[in-house]
Amino acid sequence: MNLKINGFSVYSIVLVTFITSLLLVFLIKKIAVHINAMDIPNERKIHKKPIPRLGGLAVFASFLLGYILYAPVSTQMISLLIGGFIIILTGIVDDINSIPPRYKFLFQVLAASVVVFYGKLYFNDLSILGYNLSFPTWINMILSVFFIVAIINAINLIDGLDGLSSGISSIYFLTIAILGFTRNSLGGLDVILALIMLGSTLGFLVHNFPPAKIFIGDTGSMFLGFMIAIIALLGYKVTTITSIIIPLIILFIPIFDTLLAIFRRLLKRESIGHPDKEHLHHQLLKMTSSPTKTVLLIYLINIIFAAISILYVIGDNKQAIVMYVAVMIFFLYIVLKTNILFEHHQASEQVQKKQEKKKASKKATKKQKRKKKKS
């Protein structure tokens, strides 16, 4: 099949960015070690030894090459590059020396605002399940900034296992490219960027799949979220994406995990930014006892959601609904049986601890009695 965009083969776009990212990671690893941009193990983390961060720089550099070779120059692209640089610089600083969440949030809002207000990239009308919602332009702009920042943080939060954020993002970019093909809009900027990002992310994923040799860091996870949101907005403009529901379905896992993290922390009366080990990937990891199996399971679920979105676009709603209901039953089980929202096992754990203490005290008293008898 000869698929071309602006005279370039789809396969060459993905291959060039893939190889660029794949090779650049070797250089980025050395730079990260040299400047001490290392992820140090602690009680919340799964890896046992320091691992270089800044892997997102390889993704960004590959994206830049793809932009130079394949993407058209426009005001939207310039605003995207400016916003991307803001996100990358914020991530680099955070990967070297952690910065407070509120400052990261401010720079995320700044990057999103550049795209929305300078690049004029924002929702015009919102289509949700066949209903069209019209708002004044200024509200659409604010909603668009909120959308970009929300997706940035959703991808950033899901980045808790080797290969997770980059794998989920790759599935998203591939799905957008497939939707572009099904709707005969391969020439759209959203599809071009999706293919560039697909190659760039897959090249990095080779190094990041469990066991990871390098982490994408906040540099990469925030940039992936930024690009995912931008591509969704572009797709909505050129009708590759016919409803705002479509990117939300594809991104169900990071959005679901983020919302439950917010509610979970509010229920515990903790700060929304307070880190914990109760995310979706943590719950699945407890079930599988294997990071690789957990990541592959999340990939599979994400692919199902991607398939649902494709079926929805091509009009096969019956199959989409059946698949959606099946997956939602699984997620309901996760909510009801794990600590992802409520601490179901807290009481039983406390009982077990008390029982263990009693057993330990009984053993201690028995030992003391034996010693007395011997003496």
What is residue 350's predicted lDDT score, i.e. its pLDDT? 46
371, with CB counted inside 10 A (0-12, 13-18, 19+), is exposed
Proportion of the chain above pLDDT 90, given as a percent: 46
CA distance 28 to 270: 36
The amino acid present at 282, given as its one-letter code, is H
- Other beta carbons less than 10 A from residue 262's beta carbon: 14
Place of tokens 């290969």: 163
Non-local CB neighbours of 99 within 8 Å, separated by 6+ positions: 90, 93
- Residue pair 310/179 in contact by the 8 Å Cβ criterion: yes
Residue 148 domain-assigned (yes or no): yes
What is residue 261's predicted lDDT score, i.e. its pLDDT? 87
CA distance 188 to 152: 23
pLDDT > 80? residue 365: no
Residue 34 domain-assigned (yes or no): yes
What is residue 238's predicted lDDT score, i.e. its pLDDT? 60
What is residue 111's predicted lDDT score, i.e. its pLDDT? 97
pLDDT > 90? residue 373: no
Q: What per-residue string of b and e applies to 193-208 under the rule 16 or more CB within 10 Å gives b?
A: bbbbbbbbbbbbbebb
Instruction: Give me the chain's average pLDDT, please.
Output: 86
Tens of pLDDT, residues 183-235: 777 678 889 999 999 999 999 999 999 889 999 999 999 999 999 999 999 88
Peptide bond into 211 cis (omega under 30): yes
Residue 282 domain-assigned (yes or no): no
Domain that holds residue 46: 4-251
Give the pLDDT band of residue 353 (cuts 50, 70, 90). Answer: low
What is residue 360's predicted lDDT score, i.e. its pLDDT? 64
Q: Which of 14, 8, 348 is nearest to 194 (CA)?
A: 14
DSSP state letters, 100-141: -HHHHHHHHHHHHHIIIIIS----SEEEETTEEEE--HHHHH
What is residue 347's predicted lDDT score, i.e. its pLDDT? 41
pLDDT > 90? residue 295: yes
Tell me the average pLDDT across 63-75: 93
CA distance 374 to 308: 73
Residue 294 domain-assigned (yes or no): no
What is residue 314's predicted lDDT score, i.e. its pLDDT? 83
- Residue pair 165/53 in contact by the 8 Å Cβ criterion: no
CA distance 17 to 197: 8
Residue 269 domain-assigned (yes or no): no
Residue 230 domain-assigned (yes or no): yes
Angle at 286 between CA 280 and CA 292, to 5 degrees: 80
Tens of pLDDT, residues 2-47: 678 878 889 999 999 999 999 999 999 999 999 988 888 777 667 7
Lowest mean pLDDT among 277-281, 317-321, 326-330, 354-358: 354-358
Residue 95 domain-assigned (yes or no): yes
- Residue pair 122/230 in contact by the 8 Å Cβ criterion: no
Tokens representing residue 198 in the block: 């697909």
Residue 358 domain-assigned (yes or no): no
Of 364 and 280, the one with more pLDDT: 280
Tokens representing residue 138 in the block: 């200024």
What is residue 369's predicted lDDT score, i.e. its pLDDT? 63
Total domain count, the chain = 1
Tell me the average pLDDT across 236-244: 64
Alpha carbon 186 to its chain's center: 25
Of 354 and 304, the one with more pLDDT: 304
